[in-house]
Structure 1
């Protein structure tokens, strides 16, 4: 149920942001904005929020989201519209969504943190330690 709430929240906020920037600012129709938001939400949540965020930091996930968002918005806007200002629309949309994603990743980490403990998944980071022995300390000379 947590995943459904997070996906819905991500979709709605992304739809509002892209609707304002692409729809109102660059005259992209609502159907295209909806389709771009749907594809972007599905890819970003599956690849970045679930897989990458659990294995890396918020900063790394946000950078990955920036790259993914830029690619999806650029290619879909270029394919679905006839506008000549695709790069500017993509850049403004991507920066706005990346700011939202930074805070969204904190929410994902908070809501899904206990889920790994309940499911029994092991953290992939190994717990390493060092060991010292007598051979490393030659100060105690035997007489």
Structure 2
């Protein structure tokens, strides 16, 4: 049930961004926006949120979602959108908006959805505890003289 809620949140976010960019600025029909949003939501959730995010973290997943959003809007827009618009530029604007939303959505995913799944069996546990201690004797000659006495 948590995944359904997360998919719904993601779908609303993607649809809102595409409606603003494609609908308001370029006059694309809402049916075309819904088709593109549905595919982008499912693909980005499976690839970016369930596969990349737990393994590589928020930054890598956000970059991957940018590429997926840009290519998805550009390629799907060529098939769905009937209006003559600068699709490369519209895809860039949409991808930037979706990427900003994805950054915050990934934080939601890490806090609410992914903690229960634990670490996969074949993946090593990441522990970045790098502790190094540097020290020097304050007066090494004094310590040597004590030992001789």
Measured against the shorter chain, the TM-score band is 0.7 to 0.9
Runs of 4+ in 1 over 4 A off after TM superposition: none
**Structure 1 stretch 94-103 or stretch 74-83: which is displaced more?**
74-83
Q: 1:80: Cα distance to partner?
A: 1.8
**2:23, 2:29 within 8 Å by CA — same for their partners in 1?**
yes
Cα distance change, pair 45–78 in 1 and its aligned pair in 2 (3 A): same
Give the secondary-structure state (helix, strand or coil) at the position aligned to 1:74.
helix
Which blocks of at least 5 consecutive residues in structure 1 are unaligned? 129-143
- Bigger CA radius of gyration: 2
Provide structure 2 residue ranges, at least 5 long, that are not aligned to the other structure: 128-149
Report what 1:21 is aligned to.
21
Structure 1 residues 29 and 121, CA, compared in 2 at 3 Å: closer, same or farther? same
TM value normalised by structure 2: 0.78
1:32-54 per-residue CA deviation (whole Å, 9 max, x = no partner) reads 00000000000000111001111
Superposed CA RMSD in Å reads 1.8
What residue in structure 2 maps to residue 65 of structure 1?
A: 65
Distance in 2, Cα, partners of 1:104 & 1:123: 26
TM-score by length of 1: 0.82
